[in-house]
């Protein structure tokens, strides 16, 4: 089996938002819809304060609360772990949005564009099906599927890899199959200490955060 | 080029086109653009370049704005003429659309009338001025306009749009002087310990900077960020030291003190100091080197012979400490012999040790608000990591390995105190032998020395065993009493040199200031009769923006290449819509070593090609330049300049000649086809001559660039040269000479700046300089208790992209893009909540901003990111975010000897209302 | 828009969604007490029509909020895991049985409809509790608070209406009192749970709403009922006020719960990244 997962190395992230911008462009999301974004967090009080940049988005959970609550079955999970939304089924009730503990879901009721009227590029990417329904990060499933159909490896070959990972300038984001022990992401998880966001909620996110290398526990 | 052949095939089949983004100094980034039905839809990294590009071929966030930039409905898409003769912020320019013919003819008529009357005005200043922003990056977009300017003759390019006051100015000038380092950075891939005083590489280092530092962090490199606020770079560092603004010299001096007065001497790189610095040169009673009476070479004391010998005597073991008597000469300014005969002298190192004695961590603690123990620990960590004595092999060459470095940022390394910081940084590297060696502190590129593209080739032997440096002369015979341009860099700033970049590295605010009142001794500063503006918006990006705007409103004829309307072209007479990044054509040199952290192991060329048709009537800058040349009768000179290399490559080489026929006008593609062929030939030693079509398919071509050439040290050793550290005898001399020249002309207004020319710089109350300026403005430090600083925004810096919605949207995810950052404790004391409106004021001006309440900033500091406060630029004028540029004054007393100022000002803060 | 790392009030569900819980809960509660309070004939019909109208109004209100109202029937596609689907089924059952009961003036059908209404109210509690993204909602005790407030609101509405005409029966008042006490207990349980999960601003508004629920929604109505018990002269007005207070405080609590206390999860880092060295 395959389980696609994202790994974000928080030691590397600088909060540049290149992934955010590339996602917006690759997925033609309207203004203020950011399927991938990077948080700018502060922890502690002056002068003992730390600042961290944290990429977030849909975590493609093992137990997606959004899917369980969805009354229309628009939200589903593929066997490879990718949580999808069927824009033709979704009724736009936003129940999934309040069920998601990662604030990953968006609903745009009316078409909106960067400068009011759509530009030539926005016309190319505009999809009326996405209006008034829930949308979110797809792990660029279309790229993965098309790439795999060509025999490419997601996470390794850019053509089969999510746009945010391709764009990431600090090698913070990695993508791959965590069921394959030899994959890039499995190696990263084996070598480093990681956590998942709000793990206590039992959602089983498919998004891992590296915070240190392994073997440093004793020093912690 | 097999790989590139594959890439070309792949690109052709994918509907993608290769091009580059060079919107900021940390570029270029190599990218592809996806085209659907003739429309650009998506920017991606050029994955084919990942093996040659030092940032894995990735592309900075700014480049993702290029699609929106192309289709922005706010673009100016036809040439326009001003219909309202009155100029000013509150005057509607009344721009009306005109034809290209009318626009170009209007400009040509003006230019021809200038030519007929003479290119210089009565004061000797060029009648034509030109202004390009973005730290030189517009050159990668202006096609063959440099050829037009070269054909024209004298042009004043010294009106500041940010250079001088917004750049790392002291680093540029002193960096090039000491180690061919227009910019300076750690050898990040091999460095293990970095002290970073305000350097903001994670925001301004571009893809390569971010990439290299992320790798280094994961590897375990420790970076200590010394800065009043917790910047993006501070966030990504192992430790943050919140230092009081503008006190960095004291911090660095304390580190030097620990190394010289507390650490064992053998922990320093004694061999390096003896052989590769001026540490052993004997210094006489007047502060100048003791010299051999016959050869006039500096002397050092040879412990082997127990005698004074010339510095270049083979096989000597020079003393670093002590006092020695010898027969010598001491020569001061203007070749004056100050002393001769039996003279007493001490090695400059001994002078240094004595000089640094008072600067203990305990002394610095009170100034910097940093505990002495912290400074002592950092100094010792620096020594611990330096690995003095170790070597490493790079491409077969055995080189010293010193994995420690010091990086400096804007406001630290420019303006008053900048010299001291840059000197201290270079000295810290020198003391452990970590200057220009693997792992250590490196220069990246040269802009004042030549050739610009070959840093190592710019090293030639000069006097006294040091590198030659092209100082502006200060001797009586050659000193320039009549400046060639309005900012008077040749007269006032010897270190600015006199190359193509020097105009922009002088005191560029003088061009604005002196239009109000020319100081004594300089020819009356005049308005330029014609001013070209391209990718530059000094009405926003310079200081005292209100006055700058008012001054440019007095310019009689302004030609602006206009992307959208903005605050500077609001004063223009003609707007020309040039084709933008994805619409126009240019070939640029890439690779080698460039700004910030751009160290490549390849070099070559990359093409920027029109991936989509130009919108509206926008025209390629090359075609604009050719037409201007034709209509002003300069075609022959213009073509000749292109042939000579002003488009980036000389068209004639050893075995090839693609020169253009100088007699006729050539189209854009014809010109760049020839440039492409010449570049191919240069890259392959004449074996290949690929034309434009090949480059359009492939996007780039490179050849290997040796890693060992990142380091200056081997070149210095090969030429038997020493680094001019720690003792600044030459600077001291030229300072004296400059003072003599100025005083001979009764110019007393530069005296404070002359005091910066010191052999060993002393600490001055640098924050006090700004506090005095505050008092002069009518304020008191009690009423204006905050230091207002700025910091670069990766999303915006240099990009001229405030009108791009995508950039605004993603930038707003980074704290500080929506208002002024202030300390949470202070906010609580003042009853200010996050999002409330606050007023920030100097005694002269005030702005309002949303409060961004954060923990990561000193209680006495405020921070305004980037440069906003737009009032004409569509989209940006609705941001409601102010800029410190509206508050910072321009003044002589805030100008240092290099002609630069620093982005800092004392302000007051008060709550102005609830969250809007 | 700027979504920072700190939790913020969700904006996906606004007053329109709140009205579904406000009207739906009260309607379900009304059906329940009406069916089991011995009402018959037109009185039963009237209470049932009002109860169903309330539930219907809630559903119409939420229909105005959904993005694709023409696809509203898709709401029924996921009975396996979605409490919203189940709520819609329960609502359907309530209307089917309720309308039949009204048509036939049948008490058994009314009681069957009331059971469906209880399921509906329970579903509403489960809908909120299943929203893992909202710490103030996902507390298990909220199910019982939503359920008991539905009973209390329905009873309050019924006794208030009844008091307009006559003094309500003691059994009804007893049921009302028990519902009030059950709601207060549920609030207490919920409060204990929510303080562990919700953020400070959410707790602050909940605390205010809860205080109203206890002071004006529990103590005051019980006191009024007691006063009415001992002073029959004021019994009807006391009962009317008690019923209105129970209803109003329940509604304000749900309005606050949905539109003021629904701060989302935000983000938190259990470990800070190690940059370079420890």
Kindly report the nearest CA distance between residue A28 and chain C, in angstroms: 18
B822 beta partners:
B853
Percent of chain B surpassing pLDDT 90: 93
Q: If you measure CA to CA, which chain B residue comes closest to C278?
A: B238
What does pTM read for this prediction? 0.95
Q: Which burial class, exposed, middle or buried, applies to A27 when counting CB atoms under 10 A from its CB (0-12, 13-18, 19+)?
A: buried
Q: Which of A69, A197, A216 sits opposite C130 (nearest CB)?
A: A69
Percent of chain B surpassing pLDDT 70: 98
pLDDT of residue C2: 44
Q: If you measure CA to CA, which chain B residue comes closest to A44?
A: B855
Kindly report the nearest CA distance between residue A132 and chain B, in angstroms: 21
Query: What confidence tens digit (pLDDT) does each residue in B304-336 have?
Result: 999 999 999 999 999 999 999 999 999 999 999
Q: Kindly provide the b/e burial profile for residues C108-132, where b requires at least 16 CB atoms within 10 angstroms of the residue's own CB.
A: ebbbbbbbbbbbbbbbbbbbbbbbb
DSSP B845-861: -EEEEEEEEESSB-TTE
pLDDT of residue A218: 42
Neighboring chain A residues of C66 at a CB cutoff of 8 Å: 91-94
Asked if A9's CB is within 8 angstroms of B794's CB, the reply is no
Cβ-Cβ contacts under 8 Å for B130 (sequence gap 6 or more): B149, B155, B156, B157, B531, B532, B533, B534
pLDDT of residue B14: 67
Asked if C276's CB is within 8 angstroms of B217's CB, the reply is yes
**Cβ neighbours around B293 below 10 Å, total:** 13
Kindly report the nearest CA distance between residue B73 and chain A, in angstroms: 7
pLDDT of residue C277: 80
Instruction: Look up tokens 């209470």; give the residue.
Output: C47
Neighboring chain A residues of B856 at a CB cutoff of 8 Å: 42, 46, 49, 51
Cβ-Cβ contacts under 8 Å for B860 (sequence gap 6 or more): B228, B244, B245, B785, B786, B787
Instruction: Look up tokens 């004997």; give the residue.
Output: B282
Q: Tell me the two tokens of residue B544.
A: 């005292």
Task: Name the least confident of B36-40, B634-638, B723-727.
Answer: B36-40
Neighboring chain B residues of A40 at a CB cutoff of 8 Å: 813-815
Superfamily classification of domain C15-259: Formate dehydrogenase/DMSO reductase domain (1.20.1630.10)
Asked if C2's CB is within 8 angstroms of B223's CB, the reply is no
Alpha helix stretches (DSSP H) within B391-476? 418-431
Q: Which of B236, B813, B818 sits opposite C275 (nearest CB)?
A: B236
DSSP B131-195: EE-GGGGGGGTSTTHHHHHHHH---B----SSTTTSS-HHHHHHHHHHHS-SSEEE-GGG--EEE
**Cβ neighbours around B451 below 10 Å, total:** 9
Element (H, E) at B560: strand B558-561
How far separated are the first and last CA of chain B, in Å rounded?
Answer: 59
Query: What confidence tens digit (pLDDT) does each residue in B287-308 have?
Result: 999 999 999 999 999 999 999 9
User: Is the pLDDT confidence value at C156 over 50?
Assistant: yes
Q: Is residue A165 part of a domain?
A: yes
Q: Is residue A220 part of a domain?
A: no
A15 touches chain B (CB under 8 A): yes
pLDDT of residue C1: 39
C2 touches chain B (CB under 8 A): yes
Q: Is residue A148 part of a domain?
A: yes
A191: domain range?
4-214
User: What span, in angstroms and rounded, lies between the C-alpha atoms of B562 and B78?
Assistant: 10
pLDDT of residue C166: 87
User: What span, in angstroms and rounded, lies between the C-alpha atoms of B645 and B641?
Assistant: 6
pLDDT of residue B6: 58
pLDDT of residue B11: 63
Q: Among candidates C58, C15, C261, C13, which has minimal Cα distance to C153?
A: C58
Q: Which of B43, B67, B813 sits opposite A17 (nearest CB)?
A: B813
For B80-167+480-576, the fitting CATH number among 3.40.50.740, 2.40.30.60, 2.60.40.10, 2.40.40.20 is 3.40.50.740
Q: Which of C12, C267, C268 sits opposite A98 (nearest CB)?
A: C12
pLDDT band at B1; cut points 50, 70, 90: very low
Asked if A14's CB is within 8 angstroms of B210's CB, the reply is yes
Q: Among candidates B376, B371, B412, B423, which has minimal Cα distance to B254?
A: B376
Among B37, B368, B814, B825, the residue to mutate for chain A (most A Cβ within 10 A): B814
Asked if A93's CB is within 8 angstroms of C84's CB, the reply is yes
Let me know: does C6 contact A106? Beta carbons within 8 Å.
Answer: no
Task: Name the least confident of A27-31, B134-138, B208-212.
Answer: B134-138
User: Is the pLDDT confidence value at C144 over 90?
Assistant: yes
Asked if A31's CB is within 8 angstroms of B805's CB, the reply is yes
Domain map of chain C by residue range? Answer: 15-259
Superfamily classification of domain B184-443: Dimethylsulfoxide Reductase, domain 2 (3.40.228.10)
pLDDT of residue B9: 58
Neighboring chain C residues of B238 at a CB cutoff of 8 Å: 275-278
pLDDT band at A217; cut points 50, 70, 90: low
C277 touches chain B (CB under 8 A): yes
Q: If you measure CA to CA, which chain A residue comes closest to B825?
A: A46
pLDDT band at A126; cut points 50, 70, 90: very high
Kindly report the nearest CA distance between residue C85 and chain A, in angstroms: 5
Number of inter-chain CB pairs under 8 A, B vs C: 21
Can you tell me the mean pLDDT for B432-458? 94
Neighboring chain B residues of A26 at a CB cutoff of 8 Å: 42
Can you tell me the mean pLDDT for A125-132? 96
pLDDT band at B10; cut points 50, 70, 90: low
Can you tell me the mean pLDDT for C255-277? 94
pLDDT band at B430; cut points 50, 70, 90: very high
Let me know: does B326 contact B351? Beta carbons within 8 Å.
Answer: no
pLDDT band at A219; cut points 50, 70, 90: very low
Structural domain tally of chain A? 1
Query: What confidence tens digit (pLDDT) does each residue in B669-695 have?
Result: 999 999 999 999 999 999 999 999 999
pLDDT of residue A220: 44
User: Is the pLDDT confidence value at A216 over 60?
Assistant: no
Let me know: does B282 contact B267? Beta carbons within 8 Å.
Answer: no
pLDDT of residue B2: 43
Let me know: does C190 contact C145? Beta carbons within 8 Å.
Answer: yes
Cβ-Cβ contacts under 8 Å for A213 (sequence gap 6 or more): A191, A192, A193, B218, C274
3-state secondary structure of B228: coil
pLDDT of residue C3: 54
Query: What confidence tens digit (pLDDT) does each residue in B826-868 have?
Result: 999 999 999 999 999 999 999 999 999 999 999 999 999 999 9
pLDDT of residue A59: 98
A54 touches chain C (CB under 8 A): yes
User: Is the pLDDT confidence value at B778 over 50?
Assistant: yes
Kindly report the nearest CA distance between residue A6 and chain B, in angstroms: 18
Q: Using CA atoms in the order B18, B24, B27, B33, what is the torsion angle rounded to 10 degrees? A: -20
The class (CATH top level) of B765-913 is mainly beta
pLDDT band at A71; cut points 50, 70, 90: very high
B305 beta partners:
none
Q: Which of A12, A26, A42 sits opposite B854 (nearest CB)?
A: A42
Kindly report the nearest CA distance between residue A141 and chain B, in angstroms: 17
Let me know: does A207 contact A8? Beta carbons within 8 Å.
Answer: yes
User: What span, in angstroms and rounded, lies between the C-alpha atoms of B694 and B8?
Assistant: 9
More confident position, B694 or B166: B694
The CATH code of the domain that includes A66 is: 3.30.70.20
Domain map of chain B by residue range? Answer: 80-167+480-576, 184-443, 765-913
pLDDT of residue B165: 81
Kindly report the nearest CA distance between residue C113 and chain A, in angstroms: 23
Asked if B814's CB is within 8 angstroms of A25's CB, the reply is no
A22 touches chain B (CB under 8 A): yes
User: What span, in angstroms and rounded, lies between the C-alpha atoms of B598 and B3?
Assistant: 23
User: Is the pLDDT confidence value at C4 over 90?
Assistant: no
pLDDT of residue B191: 98
C5 touches chain B (CB under 8 A): no
Can you tell me the mean pLDDT for B67-80? 98
Q: Among candidates B167, B173, B212, which has minimal Cα distance to B194?
A: B212
Handedness of CA B462, B466, B468, B473 (dihedral sign): negative
Q: Is residue A177 part of a domain?
A: yes
Among C128, C131, C261, C263, the residue to mutate for chain A (most A Cβ within 10 A): C131
pLDDT of residue C5: 78
Q: Tell me the two tokens of residue B41.
A: 């839809």
pLDDT band at B7; cut points 50, 70, 90: low
């Amino acid at each position: 089996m395959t389980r696609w997962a994202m790994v974000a190395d928080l030691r590397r992230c600088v909060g540049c938002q290149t992934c955010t911008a590339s996602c917006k462009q690759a997925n033609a999301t309207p203004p203020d819809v950011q399927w991938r974004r990077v948080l700018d967090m502060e922890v502690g009080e002056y002068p003992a304060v730390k600042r961290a940049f944290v990429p977030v988005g849909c975590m493609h959970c093992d137990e997606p609360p959004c899917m369980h609550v969805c009354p229309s079955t628009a939200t589903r999970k593929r066997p490879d772990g990718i949580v999808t939304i069927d824009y033709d089924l979704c009724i736009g009730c936003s129940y999934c949005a309040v069920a998601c503990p990662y604030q990953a879901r968006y609903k745009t009721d009316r078409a909106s564009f960067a400068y009011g009227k759509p530009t030539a590029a926005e016309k190319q990417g505009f999809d009326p099906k996405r209006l008034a329904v829930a949308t979110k990060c797809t792990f660029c499933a279309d790229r993965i599927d098309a790439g795999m159909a060509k025999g490419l490896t997601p996470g390794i070959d850019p053509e089969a890899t999510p746009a945010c990972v391709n764009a990431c300038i600090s090698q913070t984001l990695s993508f791959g199959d965590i069921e394959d022990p030899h994959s890039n992401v499995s190696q990263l998880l084996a070598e480093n200490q990681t956590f998942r966001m709000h793990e206590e909620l039992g959602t089983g996110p498919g998004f891992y955060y590296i915070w240190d290398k392994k073997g440093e526990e004793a020093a912690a | 080029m097999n790989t590139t052949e594959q890439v070309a095939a792949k690109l052709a089949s994918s509907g993608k086109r290769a091009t580059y983004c060079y919107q900021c100094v940390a570029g270029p980034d190599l990218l592809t653009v996806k085209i659907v039905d003739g429309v650009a839809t998506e920017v991606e990294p050029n994955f084919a370049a990942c093996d040659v590009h030092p940032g894995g071929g990735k592309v900075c966030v700014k480049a993702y704005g290029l699609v929106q930039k192309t289709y922005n409905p706010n673009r100016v898409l036809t040439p326009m003429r001003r219909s309202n003769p009155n100029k000013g912020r509150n005057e509607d320019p009344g721009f009306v659309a005109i034809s290209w013919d009318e626009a170009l003819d209007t400009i040509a008529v003006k230019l021809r009338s200038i030519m007929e009357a003479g290119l210089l005005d009565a004061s000797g200043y060029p009648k034509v001025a030109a202004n390009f922003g973005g730290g030189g990056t517009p050159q990668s977009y202006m096609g063959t306009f440099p050829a037009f300017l070269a054909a024209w003759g004298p042009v004043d390019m010294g009106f500041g749009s940010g250079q001088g006051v917004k750049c790392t100015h002291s680093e540029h000038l002193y960096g090039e002087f000491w180690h061919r380092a227009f910019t300076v950075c750690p050898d990040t891939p091999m460095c293990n310990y970095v002290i970073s005083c305000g350097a903001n590489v994670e925001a301004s280092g571009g893809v390569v900077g971010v990439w290299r530092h992320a790798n280094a962090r994961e590897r375990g490199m420790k970076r200590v960020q010394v800065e009043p606020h917790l910047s993006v770079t501070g966030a990504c560092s192992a430790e943050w030291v919140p230092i009081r603004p503008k006190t960095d010299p004291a911090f660095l001096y304390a580190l030097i003190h620990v190394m010289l007065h507390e650490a064992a001497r053998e922990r320093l790189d004694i061999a390096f100091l003896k052989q590769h610095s001026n540490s052993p040169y004997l210094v006489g009673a007047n502060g100048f080197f003791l010299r051999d009476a016959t050869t006039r070479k500096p002397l050092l004391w040879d412990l082997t012979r127990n005698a004074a010998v010339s510095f270049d005597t083979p096989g000597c073991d020079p003393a670093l400490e002590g006092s020695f008597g010898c027969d010598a000469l001491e020569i001061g300014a203007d070749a004056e012999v100050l002393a001769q005969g039996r003279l007493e002298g001490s090695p400059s190192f001994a002078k240094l040790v004595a000089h640094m004695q008072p600067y203990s961590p305990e002394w610095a603690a009170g100034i910097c608000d940093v505990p002495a123990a912290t400074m002592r620990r950092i100094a010792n960590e620096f020594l611990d990591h330096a690995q003095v004595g170790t070597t490493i092999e790079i491409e077969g060459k055995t080189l010293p390995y010193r994995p420690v470095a010091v990086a400096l940022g804007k406001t630290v390394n420019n303006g008053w105190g900048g010299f001291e910081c840059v000197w201290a940084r270079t000295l810290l590297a020198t003391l452990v032998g970590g200057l220009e060696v693997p792992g250590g502190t490196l220069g990246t590129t040269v802009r004042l020395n030549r050739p610009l593209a070959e840093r190592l080739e710019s090293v030639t032997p000069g006097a006294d065993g040091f590198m030659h440096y092209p100082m502006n002369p200060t001797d009586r015979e050659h000193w320039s009493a009549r400046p060639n341009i309005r900012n008077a860099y040749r007269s006032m700033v010897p270190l600015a040199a006199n190359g193509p970049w020097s105009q922009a590295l002088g005191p560029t605010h003088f061009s604005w200031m002196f239009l109000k009142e020319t100081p004594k001794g300089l020819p009356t500063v005049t308005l330029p009769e014609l001013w070209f503006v391209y990718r530059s918006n000094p009405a926003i990006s310079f200081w005292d923006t209100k006055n700058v705007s008012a001054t440019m409103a007095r310019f009689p004829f302004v030609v602006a290449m206009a992307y959208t309307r903005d605050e500077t072209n609001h004063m223009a007479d003609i707007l020309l819509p040039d084709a933008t990044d994805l619409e126009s054509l240019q070939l640029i040199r890439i690779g080698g070593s460039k700004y910030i952290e751009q160290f490549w192991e390849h070099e070559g060329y990359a093409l920027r090609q029109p991936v989509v048709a130009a919108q509206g009537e926008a025209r390629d800058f090359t075609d604009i330049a050719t037409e201007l040349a034709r209509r002003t009768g300069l075609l022959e000179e213009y073509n000749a300049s292109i042939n000579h290399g002003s488009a980036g490559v000389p068209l004639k080489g050893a075995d090839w000649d693609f020169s253009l026929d100088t007699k006729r006008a050539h189209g854009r593609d014809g010109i760049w086809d020839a440039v492409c062929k010449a570049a191919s030939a240069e890259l392959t030693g004449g074996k290949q001559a690929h034309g434009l079509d090949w480059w359009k398919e492939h996007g780039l071509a490179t050849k290997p660039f040796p890693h060992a050439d990142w380091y200056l040290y081997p070149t210095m050793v090969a030429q038997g040269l020493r680094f001019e550290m720690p003792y600044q005898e030459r600077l001291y001399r030229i300072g004296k000479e400059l003072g003599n020249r100025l005083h001979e002309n009764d110019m007393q207004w530069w005296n404070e700046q002359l005091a910066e020319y010191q052999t060993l710089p002393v600490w001055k109350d640098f924050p006090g300089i700004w506090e005095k300026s505050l008092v002069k403005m009518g304020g008191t430090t009690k009423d204006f208790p905050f230091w207002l600083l700025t910091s670069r925004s990766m999303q915006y810096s240099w990009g001229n992209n405030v009108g791009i919605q995508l950039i605004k949207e993603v930038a707003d995810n980074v704290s500080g893009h929506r208002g002024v950052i202030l300390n949470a404790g202070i906010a609580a004391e003042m009853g200010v909540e996050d999002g409330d409106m606050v007023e920030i004021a100097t005694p002269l001006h005030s702005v309002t901003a949303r409060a961004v309440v954060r923990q990561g900033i000193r209680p006495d500091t405020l921070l305004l990111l980037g440069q906003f406060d737009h009032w004409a630029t569509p989209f940006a004028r609705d941001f409601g975010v102010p800029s410190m540029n509206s508050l910072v004054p321009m003044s002589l007393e805030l100008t240092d000897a290099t002609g630069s100022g620093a982005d800092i000002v004392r302000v007051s803060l008060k709550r102005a209302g609830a969250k809007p | 828009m700027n979504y920072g790392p700190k939790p913020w009030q969700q904006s996906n569900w606004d007053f329109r969604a709140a009205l579904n819980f406000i009207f739906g809960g009260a309607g379900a509660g009304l059906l329940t007490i009406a069916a089991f309070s011995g009402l018959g004939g037109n009185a039963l019909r009237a209470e049932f029509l009002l109860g169903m109208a309330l539930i219907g109004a809630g559903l119409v209100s939420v229909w105005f909020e959904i993005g694709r109202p023409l696809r509203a029937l898709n709401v029924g596609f996921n009975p396996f895991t979605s409490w919203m689907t189940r709520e819609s089924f329960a609502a359907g059952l309530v209307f089917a049985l309720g309308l039949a009961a009204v048509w036939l003036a049948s008490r058994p059908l009314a009681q069957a409809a009331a059971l469906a209404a209880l399921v509906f109210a329970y579903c509403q509690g489960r809908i909120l509790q299943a929203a893992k993204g909202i710490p103030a909602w996902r507390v298990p005790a909220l199910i019982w608070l939503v359920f008991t407030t539905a009973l209390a609101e329905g009873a309050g509405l019924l006794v208030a209406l009844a008091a307009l005409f006559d003094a309500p029966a003691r059994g009804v008042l007893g049921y009302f009192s028990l519902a009030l006490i059950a709601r207060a207990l549920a609030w207490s349980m919920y409060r204990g749970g929510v303080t562990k999960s919700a953020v400070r601003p959410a707790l602050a508004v909940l605390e205010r709403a809860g205080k109203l629920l206890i002071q004006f929604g529990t103590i005051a109505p019980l006191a009024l009922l007691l006063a009415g018990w001992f002073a029959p002269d004021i019994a009807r007005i006391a009962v009317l006020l008690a019923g209105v207070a129970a209803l109003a405080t329940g509604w304000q609590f749900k309005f606050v719960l949905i539109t003021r206390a629904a701060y989302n999860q935000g983000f938190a880092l259990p470990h800070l990244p190690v940059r370079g060295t420890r």
